[in-house]
């Protein structure tokens, strides 16, 4: 069942329509490549039912679900909580994104036949993993396939912030660009700098590899434990306080959890150099945004580049948007065609594996 502005439509499979929000019904019978015995107690005869929470999922991912009865949210607007709860009853798998809150209430609304949750994201702080484990529901995610795209964006954001690219482009448009001034629009260079990465995981390591050719003099990292792969980029494991005090560029690459929530706060910003550039492409929740605003406004740190915020989208009246030394992007770290296609495909493969009684290719343990 699918709610569309007061309408409820029953579908066996939804394909993209000729117009936004217009569903096209496809009743063609497809041969399921999986053993029928694996679909006992499924919601719709021999075909498992999958609910897709977002309208703009790449087709390459949806195509992998053609052996299922797929019901897809058919609005450009984000599905609201009440609509999500209303439409998941009886489903066998949930294909969700990072803006969907998956908790015990939602899982219970799905019903006891729910066999899989697949999130099209590498982060899973929007999912109550305890609730999923208590119900024996495997959860799949999409690591690795977005690593390169996010690392590229992180470096681009660092450069845009440190070299004041947004300010420069704005000056051209506003007519501020006048005669050459040797001290105008000067920023911080990477050459001979010290870069500190908090959280040297897959993405952090990929960022480090891309920064080494810029001629940085030292690469520091901090986290719960040392990463053997740090040898690949000649990175030194240091305490969090040392990373803050010695780095010219501080990059947040950590996951969001109880230990890292707002770990970048008033105290940590005070420990940074006044010339430090802060970059966050991990999760908005690792930063106390009020403290960041005060640090930027007062000159406690030089500048900040954010691809993630709290909340998302960031309200247009956020004081951060009034600061010239703060670059904010709309969470586009993984926004390449290749990465988003790969994420959609991996989410679908995770779901199909679980429905077939197999281990997900990328399952959260």
Same structural domain, 159 and 136: no
Same structural domain, 239 and 159: yes
Same structural domain, 132 and 278: no
Residue 105 inside a domain? The answer is yes
pLDDT at position 198, please? 98
What are the pLDDT digits (tens) for 264-286? 999 999 999 999 999 999 999 99
* Count helices and strands in the chain by DSSP H and E runs: 11, 16
Per-residue pLDDT of the chain (365 residues; tens, 9 = 90+): 444 443 333 444 443 333 333 333 232 222 223 333 232 334 445 799 999 999 999 999 999 999 999 999 999 999 999 999 999 999 999 999 999 999 999 999 999 999 999 999 999 999 999 999 999 999 999 999 999 999 999 999 999 999 999 999 999 999 999 999 999 999 999 999 999 999 999 999 999 999 999 999 999 999 999 999 999 999 999 999 999 999 999 999 999 999 999 999 999 999 999 999 999 999 999 999 999 999 999 999 999 999 999 999 999 999 999 999 999 999 999 999 999 999 999 999 999 999 999 999 999 99
Same structural domain, 163 and 235: yes
**CA-CA-CA-CA torsion for 251, 254, 257, 263, nearest 10 degrees?**
-20
CA distances from 124 to 104, 140, 226 (A): 15, 9, 23
* Closest to 156 (Cα-Cα) out of 360, 343, 346, 336: 336
Q: Please report, for the domain that includes residue 228, its CATH number.
A: 3.40.50.720
Residue 363 inside a domain? The answer is no
Residue 179 inside a domain? The answer is no
Same structural domain, 316 and 345: no
Residue 38 inside a domain? The answer is no
CA distances from 195 to 91, 178, 231, 332 (A): 47, 34, 15, 22
Q: Contact at 8 Å (CB) between 118 and 351?
A: yes
Q: What are phi and psi of 25, to 5 degrees?
A: -90, 135
Q: How many residues does the chain have?
A: 365
Domain that holds residue 220: 146-174+186-328
pLDDT at position 42, please? 40
Same structural domain, 53 and 169: no
Residue 246 inside a domain? The answer is yes
Would you call 291 helix, strand, or coil by DSSP?
helix
The residue from 13, 191, 192, 331 that is catalytic is 331
Residue 33 inside a domain? The answer is no
Nearest-10 crossing angle of helices 147-162, 165-174:
60
Q: Kindly tell me the sign of the dihedral angle through the C-alpha atoms of 184, 190, 192, 194.
A: positive
Q: What tokens does 299 get? A: 């000159």
Q: Contact at 8 Å (CB) between 149 and 339?
A: yes
Structural domains counted in the chain: 2
What is the number of other CB atoms lying within 10 angstroms of the CB of residue 293?
A: 17
Q: What are phi and psi of 174, to 5 degrees?
A: -85, -10
Same structural domain, 300 and 216: yes
Would you call 335 helix, strand, or coil by DSSP?
coil
pTM: 0.84
Active site residue 191: no
pLDDT at position 11, please? 40
For 220, the enclosing helix (H) or strand (E) is strand 218-222
Same structural domain, 282 and 226: yes
Q: Kindly tell me the sign of the dihedral angle through the C-alpha atoms of 158, 308, 349, 18.
A: negative
Same structural domain, 126 and 201: no
Same structural domain, 314 and 226: yes
């Amino acid at each position: 069942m699918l709610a569309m502005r007061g309408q409820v439509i029953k579908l066996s499979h939804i394909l993209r329509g000729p117009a936004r929000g217009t569903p096209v019904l496809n009743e063609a019978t497809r041969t399921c490549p999986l053993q029928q015995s694996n679909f006992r107690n499924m919601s719709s005869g021999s075909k498992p039912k999958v609910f897709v929470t977002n309208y703009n999922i790449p087709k390459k991912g949806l195509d992998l679900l053609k052996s299922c009865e797929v019901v897809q949210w058919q609005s450009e607007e984000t599905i609201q909580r009440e609509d999500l709860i209303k439409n998941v009853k009886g489903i066998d798998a949930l294909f969700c994104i990072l803006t969907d809150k998956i908790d015990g209430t939602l899982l219970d609304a799905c019903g006891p036949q729910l066999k899989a949750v697949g999130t099209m994201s590498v982060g899973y702080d929007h999912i109550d993993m305890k609730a999923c484990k208590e119900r024996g529901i495997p959860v799949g995610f999409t690591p690795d396939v977005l690593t390169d795209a996010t690392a590229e964006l992180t470096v681009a954001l660092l450069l845009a912030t440190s070299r004041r690219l947004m300010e420069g482009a704005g000056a051209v448009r506003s007519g501020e660009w006048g005669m050459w001034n040797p001290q105008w629009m000067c920023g911080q260079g990477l050459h001979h700098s010290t870069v500190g990465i908090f959280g040297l995981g897959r993405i952090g390591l990929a960022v480090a590899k891309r920064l080494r050719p810029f001629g940085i003099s030292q690469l520091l990292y901090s986290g719960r434990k040392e990463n053997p792969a740090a040898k690949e980029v000649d990175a030194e494991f240091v305490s969090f306080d040392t990373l803050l005090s010695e780095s010219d560029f501080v990059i947040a690459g950590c996951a969001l959890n109880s230990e890292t929530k707002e770990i970048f706060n008033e105290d940590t910003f005070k420990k940074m150099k006044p010339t430090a550039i802060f970059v966050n492409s991990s999760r908005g929740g690792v930063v106390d945004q009020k403290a960041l605003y005060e640090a930027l406004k007062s000159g406690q740190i030089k500048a900040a580049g954010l691809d993630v915020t709290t909340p998302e989208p960031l309200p247009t009246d956020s004081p951060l948007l009034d600061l010239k030394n703060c670059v904010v992007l709309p969470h586009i770290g993984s926004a390449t065609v290749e990465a988003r296609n790969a994420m959609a495909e991996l989410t679908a493969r995770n779901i199909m594996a679980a429905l077939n009684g197999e281990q997900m290719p990328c399952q959260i343990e």
